[in-house]
Structure 1
Amino acid sequence: MKNLLFPHAFQLVGWVMFVPSLLMGALVYFGVLSFAGSLETVVNDSVIIGIALGALFVVCSKERVEDEMTRSIRLASLLNSIYVYVTLLIGCTILLNSVDFLAFAVFNMVLLPIIFVCNFRSEMHRYNKMCEDEK
């Protein structure tokens, strides 16, 4: 698996893409920013691509210290993220109708990488804090 990961420098590139894209997407979705015509399409596409690629670079780049525990945390986070994603998808499919489901479908496109980023980062923070406490 370590051969499949991006170099550590891609993590910074990922954060630079992920955070602004996520903020721009929220501003557009909640109507704080609005665009007309083809510019709206370009902005929407850029937001989705920025979130997806940013999340990919953040979670699929090596950590400064890449060991077996990091790989184990990455794999467990992926599995947990898929469980949460599928649970939300099933729950929203059952509970939401028409316009509400359409709004969820927009979020659903980028939900898995967002869940994975949050889960992996929180688990890595917990692991690093535990290692510091042991010293």
Structure 2
Amino acid sequence: MKTKYLFPHFFKRIGWLIFIPFTIASLIRLCIDWELDFLNVNVFYFIYNTFSRSGTTYFDFVENNITDEILMTALIIGGLFTAFSKEKIEDEMVEKIRLESLVWATYFNYALLLISIIFIYGNSFFTALLVNIASLLIFFIVRFHWMLYKSTKLETDEE
């Protein structure tokens, strides 16, 4: 089976090595407002809004702690490698499980987004959106690997 859109299988191991620690670090960051002080750097921005009377500025530099950016970037890259790498045996069953898991994760993720839109306000809504960015990958990875586990267990039980 040709799956042109998937990464080679060895990317899965790299993805797990990135995804697990950065997911844990992101959860810690979310729960206890943790930042690494040495990551306060001047960064270039396209649009910056201070939510003050001075308004919005464009194309300049600002000092910012980039802990969030590093965590989310690594989490997304690790999640993409983990979720969209070929399995050792990539057959029609795995492809079907992958598609069903992606559809399920998308429905579940957007359901959470709708709940967030309706019931969460203020700065907490921004946090909910950040969580929503990563949750699609997390839901997909969990369901896909759970269904793979169940299907291999079912095959083993039948033999």
TM-score (normalizing by structure 2): 0.78
- 1:96 is displaced (CA, Å) by 1.2
1:28-67 mapped onto 2 (5 Å cutoff): 28-31=29-32, 33-36=34-37, 37-38=40-41, 41-67=65-91
Higher relative contact order (CA 8 A, sep 6+): 1
Contact conserved, 2:12 with 2:83, CA < 8 A, in 1? yes
2:105 is paired with a residue whose SS is helix
Give every structure 1 segment of 4 or more consecutive aligned residues whose post-TM-superposition deviation is greater than 4 Å.
Answer: none
2:8 is paired with a residue whose SS is coil
What count of residue pairs does the alignment treat as equivalent? Answer: 135
Higher strand share: 2
| Cα-to-partner distance string for 1:110-129 (whole Å, 9 max, x where unaligned) | 11111111111111111111
Q: Any stretches of 5+ residues in structure 2 without a counterpart?
A: 43-63
Q: Any stretches of 5+ residues in structure 1 without a counterpart?
A: none
Q: Identity rate of aligned residues, in percent? A: 27
Q: Supply the RMSD in Å over aligned alpha carbons.
A: 1.8
Higher helix share: 1
Which residue pairs with 1:106 in the alignment? 130
C-alpha change, 1:70 and 1:20, in structure 2 (3 Å) is same
> Rg bigger for which structure?
2
